[in-house]
Amino acid sequence: MQYLCEERGSSAPAPQKHQFAFCGLVYCGACGDEGNKRMLVGELQRGKYIYYHCDGCKRAGRKPKYIREEALGRLFTQALEGLRLEGPVHDWLTGALKSSHEDERRFHTEAMARLQKRYAQLKGRLDILYEDRLDGRITLDDYTAKSNGWREEMAHVREEMDQHERADAAYLDFGVALLELAGMGVELYESQDALERRRFLNFLCLNSEFRGDSVKVAWKKPFDGLAQSIGEADPEKTRTPDLSDGGSRWRGVLDEVRTVALSPAEPTTARLAGLKGMIPRGASARGRPGVAR
SS3 content of the chain, % helix, strand, coil (to 5): 55, 10, 35
What does the pLDDT read at residue 1?
41
Q: In angstroms, rounded to a whole number, what is the distance separating the alpha carbons of residues 159 and 171? A: 19
Q: In angstroms, rounded to a whole number, what is the distance separating the alpha carbons of residues 153 and 134? A: 23
Name the pLDDT band for 284 (thresholds 50, 70, 90). low
Name the pLDDT band for 233 (thresholds 50, 70, 90). confident
Higher per-residue confidence, 166 vs 26: 26
**Residue 212 φ/ψ region, left for φ over 0, alpha for ψ in the -120 to 50 degree band, beta for the rest:** left
Side-chain half-sphere exposure of 37, counting CA atoms within 13 A: 11
Name the pLDDT band for 9 (thresholds 50, 70, 90). very low
Higher per-residue confidence, 103 vs 20: 20
What does the pLDDT read at residue 292?
36
Higher per-residue confidence, 120 vs 238: 120
What does the pLDDT read at residue 251?
75
CA distances from 99 to 117, 162, 209, 242 (A): 28, 23, 39, 20
Domain ranges of the chain: 105-170
What does the pLDDT read at residue 144?
92
Name the pLDDT band for 13 (thresholds 50, 70, 90). very low
In this structure, of 145-154, 207-216, 218-227, the range with the lowest mean pLDDT score is: 218-227
What does the pLDDT read at residue 12?
44
Higher per-residue confidence, 268 vs 210: 210
Three-class secondary structure of residue 51 per DSSP: strand
Q: Write down the pTM of the prediction.
A: 0.63
Task: Give the bridge partners for 209, in sequence order.
Answer: 27, 216
DSSP secondary structure letter of residue 4: B
Q: In angstroms, rounded to a whole number, what is the distance separating the alpha carbons of residues 132 and 136? A: 6
What does the pLDDT read at residue 291?
39
Residue 26 has pLDDT above 50, yes or no: yes
Q: In angstroms, rounded to a whole number, what is the distance separating the alpha carbons of residues 208 and 24? A: 10
Give the E-state strand segments of the chain in sequence order: 26-28, 41-45, 49-53, 67-68, 208-211, 214-216
Q: In angstroms, rounded to a whole number, what is the distance separating the alpha carbons of residues 259 and 263? A: 6
The number of beta carbons lying within 10 Å of the beta carbon of residue 248 is 10
Average pLDDT over the chain, rounded to an integer: 78
- Encode pLDDT of 72-124 as tens digits: 999 999 999 888 877 777 788 888 877 776 766 777 788 889 999 999 999 99
- Encode pLDDT of 124-170 as tens digits: 999 999 999 899 999 999 999 999 999 999 999 998 888 777 665 56
Please report the sign of the dihedral spanned by the C-alpha atoms of residue 227, residue 7, residue 195, residue 4: negative
- Encode pLDDT of 191-204 as tens digits: 888 888 888 888 88
Cβ atoms 20, 197 nearer than 8 A: no
Please report the sign of the dihedral spanned by the C-alpha atoms of residue 222, residue 225, residue 231, residue 232: negative
Identify residue 47 by its one-letter amino acid code.
Answer: G
- Supply the Cα-derived Rg of the chain in whole angstroms: 27
Q: In which element (H, E) is residue 261 found?
A: helix 251-261
- Contacts of 178 by beta carbon, 8 Å cutoff, 6+ apart: 222, 226, 257, 260, 261, 275
